[in-house]
Amino acid sequence: MAWLQANDYFDADAHKADVVGIAATLGQHDSGVHQHGRGQLLYARKGCIRITLEDQVCLLPPSRAAWIPPSTAHRAVMKEVVDYRSLYFSNELSYALGTTVCVITVSPLLAAVLEPMAQAAFDQDWSEGRYAHLLGLCLYEMREASRQPTLLPLPRDRRLKMLVDQPERLPPELQELEQEVGASARTISRIFSKETGMNYQQWRQQWRVVRAIELLAIGKSYGYTATMLGFQSESAFVAFFKGMLGSTPREYLKG
């Protein structure tokens, strides 16, 4: 395992082992857009990581992990203090884990398995002994883990570019958006349905959920979060959150 600092260079593809692990505790950090030949499991133990892909944003709050398939261009932005573990899998193992990005819940068993895997030597033999069992458990838990609704598809139409370029700005109501982009509500809805699989109101609500998780995960209060997301009160925000995810913000962040 390598404990990385913010400016350290690391190339997962330079190693031959089936699994390569790293760990880091970073403050403000921006990886920039990059990709690697190996699939990556990125696990946030503390803090929140925003992963931007070509056509979606993926949010990684505490006790969740993102699966990023090989050769997927992505950018990871960390705010406040983030404690994370990252495992890079060979192509053979990666393709068995899926070819689409997803966010999973990290069970207590998976969390326990990830730590010694991240501490393994870069040239570790994963085909026998303790490490073969750890790898088997890890793969099983990853495949069985529940998927989390923290992915936000992004529209690609140039008229909606400001929604993508200003990811922390609360998207306006539909009538205001009509005026900003010079397109009718029907046109906007058609674009969103085609490019994100949901209408604009559904997309805006999903944005609010994703942003709420991000703000709370970095320590913002309910009151601050409610205000930033356009709610009149904390209780209205909590009711919205529970209606969308089936649990209160506190329950969700506890995993």
- Banded model confidence at residue 6, pLDDT cuts 50, 70, 90: low
Helix orientation angle between 174-181 and 185-196, rounded to the nearest 10 degrees: 100
**pLDDT at residue 255 is higher than 70:** no
Task: Write down the pLDDT at residue 2.
Answer: 64
99-122 burial: b if 16+ Cβ within 10 Å, else e:
eebbbbebbeebbebbeebbebee
**pLDDT at residue 102 is higher than 80:** yes
Task: Write down the pLDDT at residue 4.
Answer: 65
Task: Write down the pLDDT at residue 149.
Answer: 76
Pick the CATH number of 2-144 from 2.30.30.90, 3.40.50.720, 2.60.120.810, 3.90.1150.10: 2.60.120.810
Q: Are 208 and 239 in contact (CB under 8 A)?
A: no
Report for 140-144, 151-155, 182-186: range of highest mean pLDDT: 140-144
Task: Write down the pLDDT at residue 219.
Answer: 87
Q: Are 40 and 68 in contact (CB under 8 A)?
A: yes
- Domain map (residue ranges) of the chain: 2-144, 154-253
Query: What is the residue type of 155?
Result: P
pLDDT in tens, 180-212: 888 999 999 999 999 999 999 999 999 999 999
Question: Mean of the per-residue pLDDT values for the chain?
Answer: 90
55-90 burial: b if 16+ Cβ within 10 Å, else e:
eebbbbbbbbbbbbbbebebebbbbeebebbbbbbb
- Banded model confidence at residue 48, pLDDT cuts 50, 70, 90: confident
Query: What is the residue type of 33?
Result: V
pLDDT in tens, 17-40: 999 999 888 777 788 899 999 999
The burial of 42, by beta-carbon neighbours within 10 Å (0-12 exposed, 13-18 middle, 19 or more buried), is given as buried
CATH 3.90.1560.10 fits 154-253, yes or no: no
**pLDDT at residue 49 is higher than 60:** yes
Distance CA 107, CA 197 (A): 30
- Banded model confidence at residue 132, pLDDT cuts 50, 70, 90: very high
Distance CA 137, CA 126 (A): 12
Maximum Cα–Cα distance for the chain, whole Å? 64
Helix ranges (H only) for the chain are: 91-96, 108-118, 129-144, 161-165, 174-181, 185-196, 200-217, 222-228, 234-245, 249-253
**Which residues on adjacent β-strands are paired with residue 4?**
24
Distance CA 156, CA 211 (A): 20
Q: Are 39 and 156 in contact (CB under 8 A)?
A: no
